[in-house]
Chains A and B, each alone.
Chain A
């Protein structure tokens, strides 16, 4: 329950600090909305969209751009007012982005019957059904994700629980303190909405490294989480508080989306801003930015110097997707990280003492030096090999999986055994792939297996 006066402590034993340079400063800069805004579909596998607009149409802030075919009441709204200038399609003819050329003076659409904002008192009187309808009309239902496949939940379902993690440990995504600065009250309203939707089964976690928020929100927070990346991932939070199999279907939402829900409830305006980070060793001045949803990567990196031969990542460096300058940031992607594409080769690197080799193991002399941040690159750092059963992937799995066993089961098409080993608990944090000396793409294998399971179920 959310409204408890004391919080429990979760210690996540198997975590890993990624000591990468380019941590964004806590400074927040506001970026003006550019001429072109791009709206991407949510990055979930179960969203089959039904397009409502075509090139040349004029849209307002809050106009429905597309809906989900399965849950027809789930919509994506426009974060800008202007003309649809382009609709781009990706592989398999799937919609990639709708590009809107902004008007000089933007207009808003009156979205729902909720013409006035709701006070906290009124909120307590509102039924769950009307709140769900309000969030669906406000285009905010896509903020929710459901375990284990992290897809958009059925609005008709009542969740077994909702999990909110205030902090994100992945390098580099918005800092919880920056996000909630001056928004503590708004966050409280968002929590009240979620509490209603979850019928009281709401879990809110905060990192132990975030004492300010912990004390400011002590009435709302249910758990403090101790550990490095990815201890604050909602999936890890769920795993360490899970009491029954039913909770495998719990929902989660990011703290940023809690604020957007609260903003919608309070103002009855579709929220169009988001807090993002620009980080990574490839950026000269990593920091936080307040931007319009749907800005292009080019517009986000415009004011900073970028390393030669960069790789742009939408999201964190462990789970984000590779993108280009011309692409746009999705509404569920809260950061742009830049790494150098390193293809340089050096002589016999495995023989050198390795005083300055960043590693989470103790196989290099750098393990004897104080921890320091390194300019990590996209180098694979080795060649693919067969699994040597070193077991290094086990002590870094935050949900106590045995990645090498699951990988072998999946290689042998034994999906049932992989599920028995906890494949559906995998949070796809990437640590097993990160640490693997054989450079086996464990996370990608698990991700595609989970995706296959979601679509087709268990075949054997």
Chain B
């Protein structure tokens, strides 16, 4: 049956245009069964799906804790007895419509793009969708959540240095400035433990850059102390660094490999930029969303940081001189 369906969508067959959808379904359910056609004849077991699923597994407990947190806050505000089941039920009823809308819209866009380009459907949506929900407050209307996410995904087709969930969140903040002052879904002490577990999974599996995390944290600490010296403030340091948006954003968004710097030499500068700017904006605006703003600003200049690191790296190489690579009689036709 599976082979028959696959044959129907092969190049030249009647339903060849449906190949991306069939491929997405079968590659989700089974291993590919394809063999290498060119050397190397063996391949590593790592796949894009494995990349995504590791991050998603790290994120999933945070998502569940965030859902509980929404219910917990609701019960607390109504001064009712806080019961786990009740909190989860309220949390699910608030967050599930957002999740369904985001994944529904996201899937629709990914399928449309894949059908148009006749390429395989990419797996990034799984993580991006969950991340996006977590950085928004639960009070944002579903239509705005889905609309902003659609714009973020479309922009992603051209702007490689922006995390789509970050762009979508910034669109939401622009449409509903009040959302910036409300704590996002995940913010609570309930999530802290899960964040540390997620941190361990992501660092252990080398899915995120240690350099970015470390440089962002060190620079944030230094900035806080400098600010304390010159502009005394009441911001509690530990809260900002461990429980706040900073931990979550640096862990899941700043370290994203696609929207972060592509050259490892640029990781420290990128991390320091995020650390310093996030603390400065946090101090100036006193709003939780300031960390997202800081990451977006740094991602705006990431291509330049990457270019700088690239130039520096290429300067270390002994250049390939193609004019030297041909026998003397061939020079005239083959040189630069």
Contact = CB atoms under 8 A, between A and B. Distances in A.
Interface in A346-393: 346-351, 354, 357-364, 367, 376-386, 388-392
B89 interface: no
Nearest to B42: A376
B262 A347 contact: no
B41 A320 contact: yes
Contacts of A322: 41
B44 A435 contact: yes
Contact of A381 (B23, B43, B206, B313): B43
A457 B333 contact: yes
A344 B33 contact: yes
Interface stretch (B217-225, B235-243, B314-322): B314-322
A363 B50 contact: yes
Contact of B41 (A148, A311, A424, A425): A311
B29 A347 contact: yes
27 contacts: A148-B325, A154-B327, A245-B318, A246-B324, A248-B320, A321-B39, A339-B42, A343-B35, A345-B31, A346-B30, A378-B41, A379-B31, A379-B32, A380-B43, A381-B31, A381-B32, A384-B120, A390-B51, A394-B263, A402-B313, A422-B314, A423-B320, A424-B320, A425-B317, A441-B38, A443-B39, A444-B39
A377 to B, nearest CB: 7
Nearest to A249: B324
Contact of B207 (A349, A363, A430): A363
A159 to B, nearest CB: 12
Interface stretch (A55-63, A121-129, A266-274, A413-421): A413-421
A421 B41 contact: no
A343 B39 contact: no
A243 interface: yes
Contacts of B32: 345, 379-383
A354 to B, nearest CB: 7
Interface of B: 23, 27-36, 38-51, 53-54, 119-120, 122-124, 160, 204-207, 257-258, 262-264, 310, 313-314, 317-322, 324-327, 333-336
A245 B36 contact: no
Given A157-B327, A392-B46, A245 B30 contact: no
A252 interface: no
A345 B42 contact: no
A148 to B, nearest CB: 6
A345 B204 contact: no
Contacts of A20: 42
Contacts of B51: 363, 388, 390, 437
Interface string A309-344: 001010001111110000000000000010101111
Contact of A433 (B23, B29, B43, B262): B43
B325 A380 contact: no
Contacts of A430: 39-40
A390 B48 CA distance: 9
Interface in A225-261: 242-249
A31 interface: no
Contacts, number: 225
Contact of A350 (B47, B160, B334): B47
B41 A362 contact: no
Contacts of A444: 38-39
A422 B317 contact: yes
A431 B44 CA distance: 10
A317 B258 contact: no
Contacts of B54: 363
Given A311-B41, A347-B29, A389-B258, 15 more contacts: A20-B42, A248-B321, A319-B40, A362-B204, A380-B43, A381-B32, A400-B313, A421-B314, A425-B317, A430-B40, A433-B43, A434-B44, A444-B38, A457-B322, A458-B322
A405 interface: yes
A438 interface: yes
Nearest to B119: A386
A383 B27 contact: yes
A419 B28 contact: no
Contacts of A381: 31-32, 43-47
A290 interface: no
B325 A349 contact: no
Nearest to A422: B317
Nearest to B47: A382
A337 B42 CA distance: 12
B39 A320 contact: yes
Nearest to B267: A391
B213 to A, nearest CB: 16
Contacts of A341: 35
Contacts of B122: 385-386, 388
A363 B46 contact: yes
A456 interface: yes
A376 B42 CA distance: 7
Contacts of B41: 311, 313, 317-318, 320, 322, 337, 339, 378
Nearest to A434: B40
A222 interface: no
A286 B242 CA distance: 55
Contacts of B119: 386
A320 to B, nearest CB: 6
B27 A148 contact: no
Nearest to A149: B325
B324 A245 contact: yes
A285 interface: no
Contact of A383 (B34, B124, B335): B34
A363 B318 contact: no
Contact of B42 (A245, A317, A394, A457): A317
Contacts of B123: 385
A244 B124 CA distance: 44
B208 to A, nearest CB: 11
B43 A425 contact: no
A420 B327 CA distance: 21
Given A248-B324, A347-B30, A363-B54, A242 B40 contact: no
A423 B319 CA distance: 10
A338 to B, nearest CB: 10
Residue from B36, B51, B321 with most neighbouring chain A CB atoms (10 Å): B36
A61 B222 CA distance: 78
A228 to B, nearest CB: 14
Contacts of B204: 362
